[in-house]
Amino acid sequence: MSTTAIQTATVPAWVFGAKGMLAGELLRLLDLHPALELKGAVSRSEQSVVSAHPHLVTRAKTSNHDEALAALASALAGGGKAVVFLALPHGESAALWAKLSNELGALTENLYVVDLAADFRLASPARYQQAYGHPHPAPQELARFTYGLVELDRAAVVGAKRVAAPGCFATALQLACVPAAEARLLDTSRPWILNGITGSSGSGVEPKPGTHHPWRHANMWAYSLDGHRHEAELAQALERCGAVPPIHFVAHSGPMARGIHMTAALPLARKVTTAEVHAIYAARFAGATFVEVLEGKVPDLRSISASNRAQLAVSVRGDVLNVLCTLDNMTKGGAGQALQCANLMLGFPEHWGLPRAGLGVN
């Protein structure tokens, strides 16, 4: 299909959970998209889109579920396509998807769904229960969703109808670890030590003591010391490489609003040089639109802030491989990743609507 043909065939889009912080980022990105036409921002609140997200300039109005359902059914009638983004809190996407599936029936055949929450990321119901502390609400639906980390499994996302966008920390963890695991560079009998720092936007839109600015400013602390739920997504990916190592990931809340800085200290199984590891990572992400493997410098947050780009750097010290990764938790770790998946699902150029340049100053 030519670019001109794609541009003339717009696809209607709906965002459910429009009041949330990731939804605000997604709505910002959709405003730049040449082929996705925002038809509805669905929220249980009657608050307008611009009132909820004052940084936006949009004509989209907040609609309720019934209004969105009627519009979706009309768009899908006669074989038309539509895309739905589920930007809901963890645990709510599965229930909403079950409701939409029941209400739309056979019309869901042409409906593309991207879930930004955790409900469909883990293929195993048992792993989900271990990570989230309760049984999966719709285990029969797990096999219908594809895990959407494009840089590691592009073929699965292209043309998929249901995609679960990976978590923010999980994206950084996998980009940092999987290439070395695939290359059989790492010792799986020793702990893999991982430390990640995230901005306050990772806590969502609702105010909490830990996101209150006077407390967050010039401060940093660790949390989830007994294990972070995004470790499960890394473990799932590593199993595909035949690796089942002890994973020790410690998450930290940092003094910035957006961004993730990940440091991975990975035990090597054999002697290897920094240059050799750099070549492995560069080859693994060759052609990846949104991953940059640096040489001779380290990643930083300002370079990737508000972009869909991730930066990586590697270095070998003795028998340990150090991998650094930075990405924006709101964009590549959230809304941008969801839009990147939608582009490939619908046959659009992967970069449409997605910024590759960071802000530089933030």
Query: How many angstroms separate the CA atoms of 322 and 9, rounded?
Result: 46
Residue 4 has what DSSP assignment? H
Spatial strand order in the sheet of 260-267 = 221-223, 247-253, 192-198, 260-267, 320-327, 310-317, 291-293
- The CA-atom distances, in angstroms, between 248 and each of 169, 232, 245, 268, 345 are 13, 12, 9, 16, 34
> Quick one: how many helices (H) and strands (E) in the chain?
13, 14
DSSP letter for each residue of 66-104: HHHHHHHHHHHGGG--EEEEE-PPTTTHHHHHHHHHHHH
**Considering only CA atoms, which of 328, 347, 344, 342 is closest in space to residue 14?**
342
The yes-or-no answer on residue 325 being catalytic is no
CA distance 39 to 62: 10
Query: End-to-end alpha-carbon separation of the chain, Å?
Result: 39
Tokens of 191: 């702990």
> DSSP letter at 203?
G
Half-sphere exposure of 151 (CA within 13 A, CB side): 31
Given the DSSP bridges, would you call strands 192-198 and 260-267 parallel, antiparallel or unpaired? antiparallel
Token couple for 179: 């290439």
Please list, in sequence order, all residues whose beta carbon lies within 8 angstroms of the beta carbon of residue 75, skipping any fewer than 6 positions away.
12, 39, 81, 82
Cβ atoms of 327 and 172 closer than 8 Å: yes
Q: Which of 168, 177, 325, 341 does the annotation list as catalytic?
A: 168
H or E segment to which residue 128 belongs: helix 125-132
- Axis crossing angle, helix 168-182 with helix 231-240, rounded to the nearest 10: 30
Q: Which residues are catalytic?
A: 168
